[in-house]
């Protein structure tokens, strides 16, 4: 099982970490307000004053935690990524416990659900409104997910990496890249997503997944 990879964090670029419950609640309200604005009005509407209005808090309160709009965006973007990393951790745990009967189908459903629910995140990524730090965090998140998938496929194939490790690493990265591209396309518009395309993604990945497991089993044998 692969254990390397960045550990989830939702601190973003906080000026100071809130310690008291009241401060934590205010910081949460700020990010929730930013998410609602992104979801409903888009990135261009996201200003510190607009966030303050939506959160029902003075502008100065936001500056206690975040230096500027980009810091709010980074913290919110990191929160979206944390949800993706937590999802792969749960899928890995279920695979090890023998509870993952349809790895591809369940993986796609879990991540499609996250894409669908994170409309604020879609507004950020669709417009590529990412700082260099957030772009690097996005890439690290993709690699973390790929490492989790590598662990799953190796576990289900009865192997532990070995001579097939490099092949599994390359293949699971391709799975993440392909799924990421398709799901971004499906959920990028304001209209109803084309869920039949999600089903087609499952069919495509199932063929590749079965082929990969067969190749890894042959190598281990």
Q: Is the whole model's pTM more than 0.95, yes or no?
A: no
Rounded Cα distance, 21 and 26, in Å: 9
Check whether 6 has a pLDDT greater than 50. no
pLDDT in tens, 53-72: 999 999 998 998 899 999 99
Is 145:85 a contact under the CB 8 Å cutoff? yes
Rounded Cα distance, 29 and 55, in Å: 6
Is 83:114 a contact under the CB 8 Å cutoff? yes
Is 130:124 a contact under the CB 8 Å cutoff? yes
pLDDT in tens, 150-198: 999 888 877 655 546 888 899 999 999 999 999 999 998 667 889 999 9
Q: Which domains does the chain have, with CATH numbers?
A: 73-220 (1.10.357)
Residues whose CB is less than 8 angstroms from the CB of residue 51 and which lie 6 or more positions away in sequence, other chains included: 30, 33, 34, 37, 62, 69, 72
């Amino acid at each position: 099982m692969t254990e390397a990879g960045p550990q989830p964090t939702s601190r973003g670029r906080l000026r100071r970490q809130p310690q008291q419950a009241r401060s934590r609640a205010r910081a949460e309200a700020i990010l929730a307000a930013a998410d609602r604005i992104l979801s409903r009005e888009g990135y261009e509407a996201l200003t510190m004053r607009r966030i303050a209005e939506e959160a029902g808090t003075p502008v100065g309160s936001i500056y206690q935690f975040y230096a500027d709009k980009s810091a709010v965006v980074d913290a919110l973007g990191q929160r979206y990524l944390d949800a993706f990393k937590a999802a792969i951790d749960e899928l890995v745990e279920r695979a090890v416990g023998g509870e993952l009967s349809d790895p591809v189908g369940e993986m796609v459903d879990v991540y499609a659900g996250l894409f669908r629910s994170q409309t604020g995140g879609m507004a950020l990524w669709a417009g590529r409104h990412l700082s260099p730090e957030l772009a690097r965090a996005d890439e690290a998140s993709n690699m973390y997910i790929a490492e989790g998938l590598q662990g799953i496929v190796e576990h289900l194939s009865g192997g532990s990496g070995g001579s097939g490790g490099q092949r599994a690493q390359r293949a699971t990265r391709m799975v993440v890249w392909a799924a990421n591209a398709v799901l971004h396309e499906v959920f990028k518009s304001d209209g109803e997503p084309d869920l039949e395309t999600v089903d087609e993604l499952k069919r495509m990945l199932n063929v590749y997944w079965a082929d990969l497991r067969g190749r890894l089993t042959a190598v281990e044998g």
